[in-house]
Structure 1
Amino acid sequence: MLKTRTTAATAVLASLVVLSACGTQKSGADPGSGSGAGTVAPDVPVTGVHWNFETVTVAGKESRAPDGAHIEIAASGRASGNSGCNGFGAEVSVQGDTVTVKQGQGTEMACPGERGAFEAVLQKALAGAMKAKVEGDRLTLTSPDGKNVVALTSEPPAPLQGTTWTVDSLLSDQTAASLPKGSEGKATFVVDKDGKVRGNLGCNRFTATAKVTPTTLTVTGPVVTTRMICSSPQMQLETKLHELLDGPLSYELGHRSLTLTGADGEGFAATATAKPQETPTAPKP
């Protein structure tokens, strides 16, 4: 089960957040007189954008971000994101291009291998005030001494239909739980525009007909699958997803996130695949 708490590490992690709010007065400008009267230095325009981490450089060593590492910034001053393993949130502000973090919260899951290594590097890179610069679809955050650099790129929102979604957690009464260990990244699906849902339930490929409204997705025909036998965690996830597809599901679509829940509050969450991938061929009925 995911746990949320405020930690110094997640506060540091969240320091990449840049809030685009109102303009700030230029240092030394007299608003009442002189040629610079009334001139403002606008904050870096980054709100309402899904920023993917690309690389983090610490003391000349560059680390590439894992898929799913991102940050989204709301005009309200709230921001949320993911380091590639743990989610985080923050209340932040900015003056011109200088980032200031007020507080941060984050989940506390173990991050093995490259994901854990990247999260640790990201925390080091964002240990203090950062200067932000936006050029086209690219955002760069640099420490005052220039030794730490975080590079991000913007990504457009993902539509419900035609996107490859990867299941990343199970839901129960709005509480998220990790997938069975060993089944992570196995379950994917696509909602086609022709009324089909297809993909993989964790072990077996599947296809089914479905009806989509602005708020619900309902499987209207039998879920047809292949007949492979996989590891226990994969089969456990597959059984759960198969049960969840038996009935109408209410969905909420985020920038690149999707949650589907039944009337009993049981459901699952998924994330849009960061990079295009070949969709598995659906089995024949």
Structure 2
Amino acid sequence: MSIGRRMRARVAGSAAVVIAVVGAVTGCTDDDSTVPSDPAALVGNTYLSSQVNGPQIPGGGPLVLAFTKGQLSANAGCNGHGGSVAFDGDTMTTGNLVGTMMACPPPRDGADRWVSNLLGSPLTWHLDDQTLTLSRGDQQVTLVERQNRPVVGTRWQVTALVADDAVSTSAALRKSEPYFEIADDGRLSGSTGCNRMTGTAQVDGDRITFSPIATTRIACDPETTEVERTVLAALDGAATVEVDGDDMSLTNVAHGDVGLRLKAADGS
């Protein structure tokens, strides 16, 4: 074989090696893209549907899914459902779900059946950062992780009162709309539902320590005065809080049977 032919053969052989290496690298990349998501990343998080392809949620939803270790809870606008959940690669399977039995007006009365149909058979699942996708056949539900509102800088409106371990609401509470907001410098402002209130609060993780709160001295009707009494009792001293998206539960440390349920609201 001539020198020219030997050189051409070596070049062709080197090109084949390069092509083989590139093909191997490309193949690894494709394989990595199919690696299932880690179900542990779902634990402790809540996801809200942002897009539904296929049968739509009666009443518009959204579908809310919350994951704990080995458990899932679901709500699409009517009753809450809960049960076990298991993962096998990219397949998610729920066990028998147990739900509440509240009657809901149309069209939300069909939301529970929609949830049962969605979760009644195994689903393909994928988690991409904060986006969870569930699919089966032509049906696909895209959900986005719900982010917790910060305790500081959010206006928290009272939606229910906790007294003697009982959670209650009333027309007086809905009408008076008590709220509080803690500024970055720790100053507290708000309304008891009857009077304006001011003070300071120190936030440390899931614990808030309130200074003695000062209020104006307006006299209100008995029902609204009772709302004010419970609000001030809950904000007396230290309290623990648990934030879930736009909702917050507050429990007084000294009196564990007294507390508030609050929702993030736009300031006015």
Shift of 1:221: 2.7
Whether the 8 Å CA contact 1:168–1:271 is kept in 2: the answer is yes
Could you tell me which of 241, 245, 258 is aligned with 1:252?
A: 241
TM-score by length of 2: 0.63
Report SS of the residue matched to 1:158: coil
- Which residue does 2:197 correspond to in 1? 207
Report SS of the residue matched to 2:230: helix
1-structure distance, mates of 2:142, 2:196: 38
Please, what is the CA RMSD of the aligned residues? 4.1
- The one-letter code of the counterpart of 2:91 is T
1:279 has 2:264 as partner: no
- Which residue does 2:121 correspond to in 1? 128
Shift of 1:237: 3.9
Shift of 1:99: 1.6
1-structure distance, mates of 2:171, 2:249: 20
- The one-letter code of the counterpart of 2:212 is T
Shift of 1:192: 1.9
Q: Deviations over 1:98-127 (max 9, x none)?
A: 221135445555555776565554444434
- The one-letter code of the counterpart of 1:194 is D
Percent identity at matched positions? 22
Whether the 8 Å CA contact 2:162–2:168 is kept in 1: the answer is no
Report SS of the residue matched to 1:241: helix
- Which residue does 1:170 correspond to in 2? 161
Higher RCO (Cα < 8 Å, 6 or more apart): 1
2-structure distance, mates of 1:270, 1:164: 13
The alpha-carbon distance between structure 1 residues 169 and 112, as it changes in their structure 2 partners (threshold 3 A), is: farther
Report SS of the residue matched to 1:266: coil
Could you tell me which of 77, 89, 99 is aligned with 2:92?
A: 99
1:156 has 2:144 as partner: no
- Which residue does 2:6 correspond to in 1? none
The alpha-carbon distance between structure 1 residues 150 and 168, as it changes in their structure 2 partners (threshold 3 A), is: farther
Query: In proportion to residue count, which structure has more helix?
Result: 2
TM-score by length of 1: 0.60
The alpha-carbon distance between structure 1 residues 125 and 195, as it changes in their structure 2 partners (threshold 3 A), is: same
- Which residue does 1:70 correspond to in 2? 64
Deviates most, 234-243 or 211-220: 234-243
- Which residue does 2:187 correspond to in 1? 196
1:180 has 2:167 as partner: no
Shift of 1:60: 5.5
2-structure distance, mates of 1:260, 1:55: 32
Unaligned runs of 5+ in 2: 1-27
Q: Deviations over 1:12-33 (max 9, x none)?
A: xxxxxxxxxxxxxxxxxxxxxx
2-structure distance, mates of 1:86, 1:176: 21
Unaligned runs of 5+ in 1: 1-34, 281-285
